[in-house]
Structure 1
Amino acid sequence: MLSYLSNRLVDFLLDNNIIKKEEKEIYVYGYQIIIASLISILLVSVFGLVFHRFFESIVFLVIFIYTRQCSGGYHAKTFLSCSVLFLSLYMLLLLFVEIFQNEIDIYQIICILLIYLLTIIKYAPLQNENKILSQQTIIVNRRKSIVISVVWILLALGLFPWFRRFSIVITLTLGMIAMLMLIEKLRKEGQA
Structure 2
Amino acid sequence: MVERVVKILIKNNIIHQQDSELYQYGLTLLIKKIFHIVTILLLGTICKKFICTAVFLVAYAGIRKYAGGYHAKSSKGCYACTGIVTSFSILLFYILEYVELFVIYIILGICAGAISTFSPQETSNRPLSREELTIYKKKTIKTLIIEGIICLLSLFFKEIINGIICAWVIETIMLLIGKGRQKT
Candidates 150, 164, 167, aligned match of 1:170? 164
Alignment correspondent of 2:122: 127
What's the CA shift for 1:166?
A: 2.6
| Residue 101 of structure 1: how far off its partner (Å) | 0.9
Please give the TM-score of this superposition, normalised by the length of structure 1: 0.81
Contact 1:60 1:90 (C-alpha < 8 Å) held by counterparts: no
- Once the two structures are TM-superposed, the CA of residue 157 in structure 1 deviates from its matched residue by 3.5
Match of 1:147 in 2: 142
Kept in 1, the 8 Å contact 2:69–2:174? The answer is yes
CA distance in 1, matches of 2:25, 2:36: 17
Partner of 1:183 in structure 2? 177
Q: Give the CA RMSD over aligned residues.
A: 2.4
- Aligned partners of 1:115 and 1:178 also within 8 Å: no
1:167 is aligned with what amino acid?
Answer: I
Match of 1:156 among 151, 154, 161: 151
Going from structure 1 to structure 2, the CA distance change for 1:185 and 1:101 (only over 3 Å counts) comes to same
Q: For 1:188 and 1:137, how far apart are their aligned partners in 2?
A: 19
Tell me the number of residue pairs that the alignment of Structure 1 and Structure 2 aligns: 184
Map Cα deviations across residues 135-157 of structure 1 (whole Å, 9 max, x no partner).
Answer: 43332221111011012123224
Give me the whole-angstrom Cα distance separating, in 1, the residues matched to 2:59 and 2:53.
Answer: 10
Name structure 1 gaps, 5 residues minimum: none
**Structure 2 segments unaligned to the other structure (5+ residues):** none
State the Cα deviation string for residues 34-53 of structure 1 (Å, max 9, x = none). Answer: 11111011112222333332
The aligned counterpart of 1:29 is: 25
1:52-63 aligned within 5 A: 52-63=48-59
Partner of 1:69: 65
- 1:53/1:72 Cα in 2 relative to 1: closer, same or farther (>3 Å)? same
Q: Deviations over 1:48-87 (max 9, x none)?
A: 3333322222101101112111111111111222122223
